[in-house]
Structure 1
Amino acid sequence: MLKKMLVVAIATTLLSSCSGETSLKPSEYSTEVNQRFTGNLAYETTDFVEDYWRIVGNTGFNKSIDLIAEHLKKAGYVLEENATENDLLTYRIEKRPLKRPTWEPVDAKVLLNNKKEPLLEFATNRNMIAINSYSTPTKGVTAEVVYVKDLKKLKEMKLKGKIVFVERSPYSVFKTAIQEGGAVGIFSYSNPKYLQPEKNTTSIQFRGIPLDTVKKPWTIALSYAAKERLKKAFEKGKVMATVNVETKIYPSEELTIVADVKGSELPKERLVFSAHVQEPGANDNASGVGVALEMATITAQLIQEKKLNLKRSLTFLWGDEIVSTNRYVKEDSIRAKDIKWGISLDMVGEDTKKTGGVFLIEKMPDPSAIWTRGNDKHTEWGGRKMKLKEMKPHYLNDFLIGKFEAQGKLANWKVSTNPFEGGSDHVPFLRSDIPSVLFWHFTDQFYHTDNDRIDKVSKSTLKNVGTAALVSAYTLVNSDQGTAYNIIKQIESAAVNRLEEELKQGKIALQKGDSLKTQLAIVDAWEDWYKKAVATTFDMVQDSTSIKSAVTESQDRISSKAVHISKELQDKE
């Protein structure tokens, strides 16, 4: 009888396993997701989206939203208005009228002094038309170009009917040159050094001008090569330019698409991934769109196969950078209070051998954003020095770093971090006191330029980012007392390592003549940050008393380490 029962039990287990009805354990997330996340869908989506010049409301933006919706439906997501209580996978497309018209470029060409070879043409430089530029008359505009080296003299110059050429942002001269001076248009060059313009001579970083429905002006952004050629033309005398611009400016609506995977126990609590659609590049940010879509698709597969059961909800949001995320956080205060984590997917697919960037986790504000030293470095994008009151202590930083470093070790993929800088979809979360980080790459020598195309995207990078992000998300939304214990240990270890690093950096600073008071303040700041970060693990459990002693003991050990570090610094003084 016992033998018969054993056989039946084994058969039942095998049947359950074969039918995919056994939920994955957290220790199995990485293996399962690594097998499923090929990067194919992410890459194909990136390739589709980057074909279009995308601004909220325009053709390319809306076609991208349609593509996402099509794939979500195919993956098993049900349109929210047709869903029942039993549907775990749903999506909706939010539509709102735009207050201002949308814009899209169609074509452009610039000729100098009637020469046949164009100075620039849209077919090869699709960032040459500044956002909000109007079309020229069908036959174009021919006008003298005025080179303005000193902006202080701009008001004194006769600009009516002429084209103003400046080596700076068009915004800086728009009012004086166009609205007051009567210039017909602007030639602008302002590529920053980190784009390596003398190497990437054809790159143009996209630019914009104010929408002026009265003057209906246009601006042409120049590449380094075009700028140099134009300056040489001035050496020979008067420069005339013929400019043809074709754009579309029209009323439209703002689309945001939101996909939800409903949690089984705490459905109101959620993790939100945000990927913005606007911006015309491949890496920025067609790659984020593609990674999020493959993540959503794989999650649907695992749910349908009953290999994955999520305790809390998982949300994927695609829309207009910062605007859509900000609205998602602020529009529904009841929903917002249950958003436990927010993650921005922005520039996540780079072929780093080509772009020069490295994958980065931009941390929530910690003391490295005040005292940036040692291995902590700001990117060329830059970040201001923050204040202690702006710190956001939380376990999310070190938890994600650990998960991504594990994927990096597995795939021989480099993972790094940078102090908080802002500028993407993580900011609205943080402003609402929701823990949030940014996944991105920098420095990218093709950032915001028309050379940010599909050839700069790596399928393996898409896979690594998407895999590590999914593994992290599943762990967080299914977190419990056991997860909390593990993270407490992880945070304590990170705190010890950080304090030891600050001892090293403090000694170097003292040798250079910096004050002991400052070094002790840095140690105190990190101690405080990590003690508070340990305490944030309470949000993983329903009963805080279950981990209270573990939190307190960990905090005590962090304090003890900090006291030791401070004493050693004082002894060195």
Structure 2
Amino acid sequence: MSKKIIFLLVLTITFFSCKQNNEITSQEYFNIVNQELTGDLAYETTAFIEKYWRVVGNTGFNKSVYRIAEQLEKDGYVLEENATKNDVLTYRIETRPLERPTWESVDATVTINGEEQPLLSHDTNRNMIALNSYSTDEEGDTAEVVYIEDIKKLAETDVKGKIVFAETHPGRIFKTAVTDGGAIGIITYNNPSYLQPEKNTTSIQFRSIPLDSVSKAWGIVMSFEAKERLKSSLSKGKTTLNVKVETKIYPSEELTIVADIKGSENPSERLVFSAHIQEPGANDNASGVGATLEMASVAAKLFKDGRFKPKRTLTFLWGDEIVSTRRYVQEDSIRVKGIKWGISLDMVGEDTEKTGGTFLIEKMPDPSAIWTRGNDKHTEWGGRPLKVEDMTPHYLNDFVIKKFKEQGRRANWEVNTNPYEGGSDHVPFLRGNIPGVLFWHFTDQFYHTDNDRIDKMSKTTLKNVATGALVSAIELVSSDENTAKQVLQSIQQAAINRLEEEQKQSQIAIENGEGLETQIEIIKTWKDWYVRAASTTNDMVKDTNLIKADIEATQKAISAKAKRVLEALETI
């Protein structure tokens, strides 16, 4: 054997030995995951799930759970009850009885008497039946429509035996109209402006009414087009509708599916991905389910290939929005102590040229949720202004932003952020004092409507989101003092960039007559946030002394920058 061959053999052995010791770099993980994660499984899963109108416990929800389980089995995950102590890839399906019956829509039509063309048909508007509606008899309900222009006058209007029409959320008038007033049903319209209803005239945003087993009434929700037709008919005189509704309401059980890749060193410590199954749309949230499943699939492959050996456990959770995640956080007092990071995937597969949205990372509460200015902007979803005591300083915000920006550069893909707003599976993590962020898209002109279908999806977007998320997770569950030191460098740079931007915004504010005192408070709050965020890198190491000096140096540099900014503002 020649010396050259021996040298190459030794080099190869050394290279793979390094990889075995978790020395794969961030850039290498990006290369590996971008090659292995295609978006195909995420898209196929989304296409399967979005066919169903999903409520926890109903047919579509449960079929989605078992579809996930089937794929996990293919990927080598072992059902926990059959697993041995040596099995690293495991999963379980948790079952719980539902306190209330589940619901699913089957069919419906609404026809203006005297007209052949239905006002609405379930075939083309599957959101037209308000959640919790009961069925009519086979012939349907036929009654006069009463238009309530001012809902404050509903209580004093005789609606018994009639159909109440109002431009509001159906849940807002159900009790007054049906329970108290004796109406046989309600028909409503209230699409928000961001759905561009005059453009997307057939869209119906799904709504719900109370489950009323006494009246067994129904609610119909209209598109802009249907609302205009009904109002036109009413303008010509008395209007009668025939409403046929078929739904199923029955006892069921709640399913939650959880998969784990057990950590080799600290298995009780974990990162949890959460994606909710319920809701009827493709982007919301079949996309989150599909992306998370492909991440679990690729992570399993990398583990079996020896290219991913997590020190901590990587967990994937699918279930009922907020409910399942909250239970995972709250029900086990020992487990919750080890949840180090929580990430929610909700609406992550959009073809933004069609939906009009943009990919967003919703940050943990930071000062941009108190003072939203400059490039920070809330979405149309909106968020209540927070207080300083609501802040949750942590490196997770800037860590995932950096990873996703890297994927954005690689794929020519736009990545943005928004201040904390809440409303998805990241909330239970944060309320459990666990660092948590949300990956999502907004604004979406088809949000919660029956036009949120597979044609609004992008396999490329699914790939990009899942890649950024999985690379972030791999690095976090494999993190050590070297990772912590790199993160501290990123925090320092992010803090300096933020303080410089806030200095510009404060200068503008002062020039516009705002007080210096408020600007000083803003700068100090950002400084304190980043100083405290630097200290959270301790959770990556067993011995905090390994990074103590690095943390102190980072904090000192941030404080020094803040001091210079404050001195500059005081001279204005």
Q: Do both proteins adopt the same fold according to a TM-score greater than 0.5, normalized to the shorter chain?
A: yes
Matched to 1:404, the amino acid is: F
Give me the TM-score of the superposition, normalised by structure 2.
0.98
Q: What's the counterpart of residue 25 of structure 2?
A: 26
Kept in 2, the 8 Å contact 1:24–1:308? The answer is no
Q: C-alpha separation between the residues in 1 aligned to 2:16 and 2:402?
A: 32
1:248 counterpart = 2:248: yes
* Cα 1:342–1:104 shift into 2, 3 Å: same
Q: C-alpha separation between the residues in 2 aligned to 1:162 and 1:488?
A: 66
Q: CA deviation at 1:114?
A: 3.0
Kept in 1, the 8 Å contact 2:22–2:478? The answer is no
Q: C-alpha separation between the residues in 2 aligned to 1:156 and 1:473?
A: 58
| Paired residue secondary structure (1:389) | helix
Q: What's the counterpart of residue 534 of structure 1?
A: 534
| Paired residue secondary structure (2:99) | coil
1:50 counterpart = 2:50: yes
Give me the TM-score of the superposition, normalised by structure 1.
0.98
| Paired residue secondary structure (1:187) | strand
Q: What's the counterpart of residue 110 of structure 2?
A: 110
| Paired residue secondary structure (1:220) | strand
Deviation digits for residues 512-570 of structure 1 (CA, Å, limit 9, x no counterpart) = 11000000000000000000000000100111111111111111111111111111111
Kept in 2, the 8 Å contact 1:203–1:223? The answer is yes
Q: C-alpha separation between the residues in 1 aligned to 2:301 and 2:257?
A: 20
Q: C-alpha separation between the residues in 1 aligned to 2:119 and 2:145?
A: 13
Runs (4+) off by over 2 Å: 1-17, 20-24
* Cα 1:59–1:29 shift into 2, 3 Å: same
Q: CA deviation at 1:6?
A: 2.9
Cα RMSD after superposing both structures: 1.6
Deviation digits for residues 234-291 of structure 1 (CA, Å, limit 9, x no counterpart) = 1110000000000000000000000000000111100000000000000000000000
Q: CA deviation at 1:172?
A: 1.2
Deviation digits for residues 452-502 of structure 1 (CA, Å, limit 9, x no counterpart) = 000000000000000010100000001101100000010010000110001
1:155 counterpart = 2:194: no
Q: What's the counterpart of residue 353 of structure 1?
A: 353
1:169 counterpart = 2:163: no
Q: CA deviation at 1:205?
A: 0.2
Tell me the number of residue pairs that the alignment of Structure 1 and Structure 2 aligns: 570
Q: What's the counterpart of residue 209 of structure 1?
A: 209
Q: C-alpha separation between the residues in 2 aligned to 1:34 and 1:5?
A: 32
Identity %: 65
Kept in 1, the 8 Å contact 2:394–2:533? The answer is yes
Q: C-alpha separation between the residues in 1 aligned to 2:549 and 2:15?
A: 42
| Paired residue secondary structure (1:104) | strand
Q: What's the counterpart of residue 501 of structure 1?
A: 501
* Cα 1:546–1:118 shift into 2, 3 Å: same
* Cα 1:251–1:544 shift into 2, 3 Å: same
Q: What's the counterpart of residue 318 of structure 2?
A: 318
Q: CA deviation at 1:372?
A: 0.2
Q: CA deviation at 1:74?
A: 0.6
Q: C-alpha separation between the residues in 2 aligned to 1:562 and 1:451?
A: 48
Q: C-alpha separation between the residues in 2 aligned to 1:384 and 1:7?
A: 63
Q: C-alpha separation between the residues in 1 aligned to 2:61 and 2:114?
A: 36
Q: Which runs of 5+ in 2 are unaligned?
A: none
Q: What's the counterpart of residue 571 of structure 2?
A: 571
Q: What's the counterpart of residue 555 of structure 1?
A: 555
Kept in 2, the 8 Å contact 1:400–1:472? The answer is yes
| Paired residue secondary structure (1:160) | coil
Q: What's the counterpart of residue 376 of structure 2?
A: 376
* Cα 1:93–1:24 shift into 2, 3 Å: farther
| Paired residue secondary structure (2:364) | coil
Kept in 2, the 8 Å contact 1:129–1:221? The answer is yes
Q: What's the counterpart of residue 458 of structure 2?
A: 458
Matched to 2:226, the amino acid is: A
Q: C-alpha separation between the residues in 2 aligned to 1:7 and 1:395?
A: 42
Deviation digits for residues 147-180 of structure 1 (CA, Å, limit 9, x no counterpart) = 0001122111111110000000011111110000
Matched to 1:126, the amino acid is: R
1:132 counterpart = 2:139: no
Kept in 2, the 8 Å contact 1:394–1:533? The answer is yes
Matched to 2:95, the amino acid is: K
Matched to 1:448, the amino acid is: H
Q: C-alpha separation between the residues in 1 aligned to 2:471 and 2:386?
A: 31
Q: C-alpha separation between the residues in 1 aligned to 2:554 and 2:67?
A: 48
Q: C-alpha separation between the residues in 2 aligned to 1:337 and 1:183?
A: 52
Deviation digits for residues 380-431 of structure 1 (CA, Å, limit 9, x no counterpart) = 0000000000000000000100000000000000000000000000000000
Kept in 2, the 8 Å contact 1:49–1:282? The answer is yes
1:309 counterpart = 2:318: no
Q: What's the counterpart of residue 233 of structure 1?
A: 233
Kept in 2, the 8 Å contact 1:24–1:307? The answer is no
Kept in 2, the 8 Å contact 1:499–1:561? The answer is yes
Deviation digits for residues 105-143 of structure 1 (CA, Å, limit 9, x no counterpart) = 000000002311000000000000000000001110100
Q: CA deviation at 1:23?
A: 5.8
Q: What's the counterpart of residue 390 of structure 1?
A: 390
Q: CA deviation at 1:3?
A: 4.1
Matching of residues 472-491 of structure 1 within 5 Å: 472-491=472-491
Q: C-alpha separation between the residues in 1 aligned to 2:485 and 2:50?
A: 43
Q: What's the counterpart of residue 399 of structure 1?
A: 399
1:448 counterpart = 2:410: no
1:338 counterpart = 2:342: no
Q: CA deviation at 1:10?
A: 3.8
Q: C-alpha separation between the residues in 2 aligned to 1:160 and 1:541?
A: 68
Kept in 2, the 8 Å contact 1:360–1:442? The answer is yes
Q: CA deviation at 1:183?
A: 0.1
Q: C-alpha separation between the residues in 1 aligned to 2:526 and 2:532?
A: 10
